[in-house]
Amino acid sequence: MESLLREWDGDSVIFRFDRLCGAWIIIAIHSTRLGPATGGTRMKHYPHVQAAVQDAQRLARGMSYKWAAAGLDAGGGKAVIAIPPDLGPPARTDLLRRYGAFIHQLRGLFLTGPDLGTTSEDMDIIAENAAPYVFCRTPAAGGSGNPGPFTALGVFTSIQVVVEQLFGDASLRDKQVLVQGVGSVGGELIKLLRQAGAEISFSDVDPISIQHFRRQLGLQFVPPGEVYDVHCHIFAPCAIGGVLNEETIPRLGCRAVVGGANNQLATPQDAVRLQARQILYAPDFVTNSGGAIAAIGMETGGWSPAEARERVAQMIKSNLFEILELATQEEVPPDAAAQRIAERRLA
């Protein structure tokens, strides 16, 4: 634990142990250089506290780059609530209220919204004690709602940019796309891909989701253990992070990786591994920034949902073209090019 805190390049990590249910609350503040630390609240079970801290730190760092690359005035932060495996619904709701009171005590140092394991309805509960430091509450509660469709739009736009880069035309008709994870982002992404005429396959671990997308929509299902071996044009990881690593990259049968998951690269060296295999990687903190951009724009800039969709598509398209051009000019992986652009603004 001490080495995690010593070696991290962020500002601070704030801990709280919830004695009533045995959960750990970890808020990682990576940077406030561009504004208050802003990032989602992730809720899940971890094998140990160190894993939760490491996850919060990596996610917070990604948020710093996400905001900077998008040109928005917000800092990087992330919250992780490491819950016990047997936490029931009533206890979970009470925990969210206590977490909201904790956020309020920070007086705007950290602003939050939904992430893996939390929803807009959860933000309503947190906001009972944490308003005005909560984004993406339900529209009925005055928020911008589920950011998933806007995140999916950003990933879809990024796929178009990458396809144009590879094939000279942004059309997705007959392009083969494998979507890993069909939750709030992956499921919405599939809707956009179907409308664009792409050939879609998918992978997931949830039986209900598998039945819906395979039987009701007629999409090809790929077992989780086989996703890296599938030959396709685009691989779109939209579930957990760390899926691109020294074991999976040699197996990849795709031309490009463009997804919605956070921290897809297990290590920085994995960007080099992808480049060595001539697999184009669109940096995740750019491709998955649509939900964050839309939430900020609608809740602080007065954007309508229609304007938010237009702005998200324009901003991500422009940012990704700039990143890919810089990567080509300087002969570096796109992830390194994206970090350089973000670091210029952070500096």
3-state secondary structure 246-293: CCCHHHCEEEEECCCCCCCECCCHHHHHHHHCCCEECCHHHHCCHHHH
CB 227 within 8 A of CB 203: yes
Euclidean distance between CA atoms 146 and 243, whole angstroms: 25
Q: How far separated are the first and last CA of the chain, in Å rounded?
A: 29
Q: Which amino acid is at 214?
A: R
Q: Name the nearest CA neighbour of 257 among 162, 152, 148.
A: 162
CB 281 within 8 A of CB 337: no
Q: Name the 3-class secondary structure at 10.
A: coil
Q: Is 52 exposed, middle or buried (0-12, 13-18, 19+ CB in 10 A)?
A: buried
Q: Is 205 exposed, middle or buried (0-12, 13-18, 19+ CB in 10 A)?
A: exposed
State phi, psi for 46 to the nearest 5 degrees: -120, 155
CB 159 within 8 A of CB 172: yes
CB 175 within 8 A of CB 234: yes
Q: Which residues contact 90 (CB under 8 A, 6 or more apart)?
A: none
Structure-block tokens of residue 280? 């184009």
Euclidean distance between CA atoms 246 and 255, whole angstroms: 17
Tokens 């253990």 correspond to 225
Euclidean distance between CA atoms 139 and 215, whole angstroms: 32
List active site positions: 78
Euclidean distance between CA atoms 320 and 336, whole angstroms: 13
